[in-house]
Chain A
């Protein structure tokens, strides 16, 4: 049987995987992660409508733009994006191995890397369909607080959405490689997200250039909140790469890790446990 073209094959896998991914138990977790900020924004907005006068964070009055910036950092950039990347990215191939269904995919007349790429596309669409509307709803609810206006903060939202999408793409590609390489990929991914990245960003030096957060956080229009001691230390030693450096680095990380993941899946011999 003749092998189909790479893109055609990837799109077929994407079509098959999207529904499977969207209606899986993992999506419940994703809805929870992205639903909390929406619920919080709803509560804050309702309190504002009922007459709460000033919003304070760390004893400081904040307007809508400030609260939205804080939520982007705390809920999405530092938590949802890397965590969703780790949960979904590591599972792209690992789930098929665990369910022992990888044989069915790999016996089709399509390249193994097309399978991975199709699943990666499905992950991107699936997570963006949930994360981006969540951010948009939070913005609608929070931006007008404290005399703020939608018009004044729209540019921030317009920048935040592609940055978060880029974050999902980069973390997804990186963890797809982790999923294809390591035996316990989720644990490795979570150690990277909650251990390596925050630790390295705190110290001065070149190591932070080996993280995704360094390039991603440099793009965010809102200033980093100094809500914890770690954030404060991060701010002191923070270097912000230029826009070009950040974009090139993120593109390179995505491209290289995705290519390496495809290569690993192609060359690896999967022995299913009986």
Chain B
């Protein structure tokens, strides 16, 4: 063996050792700074650790997108929005930056669903105006661990609802008990300590402006799905849905199956569905574009299906909707 062959072998081996060493460290540490490690929005620190579903939307990003502008042309919402603005001082389009929704794992009774849901809204709020409006409607304002808490018990004796000002720009809305747990969660027992959920959140594409992750068996309890679908769901343990709204709409639906075999079966089902969809192609160019964008990926226990709805499809849907909708005079928006 010549000297330069030995050098070549040494360099190639060195590359392999360096890459495999880096990969091993990254695998056991859950990522590296090099790996663009993210940990989701800061608001997650208010979500109790046993939450089974977490969904997030960057409202500011979506509202300023071309997609939103197109929808606005089709669906006028001026009157209701202005009424909400005058009562609460909140302009949904301008004052809300993001919304994070979480539901509890124990939400197995659909009737009690609001009790187990938490909505965290980040934006600009007129605290005094909101408190005044709430007390006008019979709510009581108190303090819980230094946070202002508005609680309201419905006349029919249902779930006590609460609104808490967690931070000057962060509002929590939900069942009284859940909102109080959100305030407690900031101390430590929050979703960021839930390794399974955080793994999914960390794997999300940072460019998406809306996403949801959850545990499937818990979601089954919440939604009361048909038995036929429920029987297929045990194969899936976790799911993640991500979306990016801009000129069009693109996203990925990802499922974590129970094992590799279940994932392969699920891939077969998706492949079959995609093949069936492709058989329908040729009638509508817009539909063809969407079907062509379907792409299945995934390794091991992961099955992912990505899709894209281009702006041309949104345009034609908007045109169709405006032809179908009865003519409603557009209410002129008040500029603030």
Contacts and interface: CB of A to CB of B under 8 A. Distances in A.
Interface of A: 15, 18-19, 22-23, 53-54, 56-63, 65-66, 69, 125, 129-130, 132-133, 136-137, 139-140, 143-144, 146-152, 154-158, 221-223, 225-226, 232, 235-236, 238, 240
Interface residues of B, number: 59
B30 interface: yes
Contacts of B264: 240
B286 to A, nearest CB: 13
6 contacts: A62-B306, A133-B15, A146-B205, A150-B34, A152-B203, A226-B274
B275 A157 contact: no
B10 to A, nearest CB: 10
A136 B310 CA distance: 35
Contact of A19 (B2, B23, B275, B297): B2
Contacts of B295: 57-58, 60, 62, 225-226
A129 B9 contact: yes
B307 interface: yes
Contacts of B190: none
A146 B206 contact: yes
B297 A61 contact: no
Contacts of B116: none
B12 A223 contact: no
Interface of B: 1-2, 4-5, 8-9, 12, 15-16, 19-20, 22-24, 26-32, 34-38, 202-207, 244, 250-252, 264, 267, 271-272, 274-275, 278, 289, 292-300, 303-304, 306-308, 310
A240 B26 CA distance: 31
A225 B298 CA distance: 10
B292 A136 contact: no
Which interface residue of A62, A63, A65, A236 has the most chain B CB atoms within 10 A?
A63
A226 B2 CA distance: 45
A54 B244 contact: yes
Contacts of A240: 264
Given A60-B250, A60-B308, A61-B252, A149 B36 contact: yes
Contacts of A137: 15, 19
Contacts of B308: 56, 59-61
The 4 closest A-B pairs by CB, nearest first: A150-B26, A136-B19, A149-B35, A147-B206
A151 to B, nearest CB: 4
A144 B27 contact: no
A155 B307 contact: no
Interface of chain A, helix or strand or loop or mixed? helix
B293 A236 contact: no
Contact of B31 (A15, A19, A139, A151): A151
B8 A61 contact: no
A19 B4 CA distance: 8
A238 B270 CA distance: 13
Given A149-B35, A157-B19, 12 more contacts: A56-B308, A59-B293, A61-B252, A130-B12, A132-B16, A133-B16, A139-B19, A146-B207, A151-B26, A152-B31, A155-B27, A223-B297
A62 B307 CA distance: 10
Nearest to A143: B35
Nearest to A68: B299
B20 A136 contact: yes
B271 A235 contact: yes
A129 B19 contact: no
B23 A158 contact: yes
Contacts of A60: 250, 293-295, 306-308
Contact of A129 (B8, B251, B298): B8
A148 B34 CA distance: 10
A137 B204 CA distance: 23
A18 B1 contact: yes
Given A147-B205, A147-B206, A156 B299 contact: yes
B274 A150 contact: no
